[in-house]
Amino acid sequence: NAGVTQTPKFQVLKTGQSMTLQCAQDMNHNSMYWYRQDPGMGLRLIYYSASEGTTDKGEVPNGYNVSRLNKREFSLRLESAAPSQTSVYFCASSEGNGGGEKLFFGSGTQLSVL
């Protein structure tokens, strides 16, 4: 079982460059999420999609955009990368979004912005 698949696993960007992080899940889940993980700060929610066709801002949305392409795929785009966006990014999915839901995580994308 693939679960949640993220690509790429590693990426180095220069300040001002753009890129898209891809995420796909094969569990027929309705909800998908993007988190960033920084030392000492845990995971912070960037954007989420409660269902196909909807997206909402999380705690730290500035500098990011998302697209829920279909039920399976949820991409995160950095239009103009900044060093403050150096982080590990995790995509996650859950069956629903009513609270109490188990999240399934991908293995992460380590992004460095120089």
Partner 1 sequence: AQSVTQLGSHVSVSEGALVLLRCNYSSSVPPYLFWYVQYPNQGLQLLLKYTSAATLVKGINGFEAEFKKSETSFHLTKPSAHMSDAAEYFCAVSVRDKLIFGAGTRLAVHP
Backbone angles phi, psi at 81, to 5 degrees: -65, 145
89 binds partner 1 (CB under 8 A): no
Do 6 and 22 meet the contact criterion of CB atoms below 8 Å apart?
Answer: yes
Among 14, 53, 62, 102, binds partner 1 (CB under 8 A): 102
Q: How far is the CB of 46 from partner 1 (least distance, A)?
A: 11
Binding part of the chain for partner 1, among 11-19, 63-71, 77-85, 95-103 by CB under 8 A, reads: 95-103
Q: How far is the CB of 15 from partner 1 (least distance, A)?
A: 26
Contacts of 52 (CB under 8 A, 6+ apart): 30, 68, 70, 71
DSSP calls for 20-83: EEEEEESS--SEEEEEEEETTTEEEEEEEESSTT--EE-S--TTEEEEE-SSSBEEEEESS--G
Q: How far is the CB of 16 from partner 1 (least distance, A)?
A: 29
In this complex, which beta carbon is closest to partner 1, that of residue 48 or of residue 74?
A: 48
- Interacting residue ranges for partner 1, rule: CB under 8 A: 4, 31, 33, 35, 40-45, 48, 50, 58-59, 90, 92, 97-103, 105-108
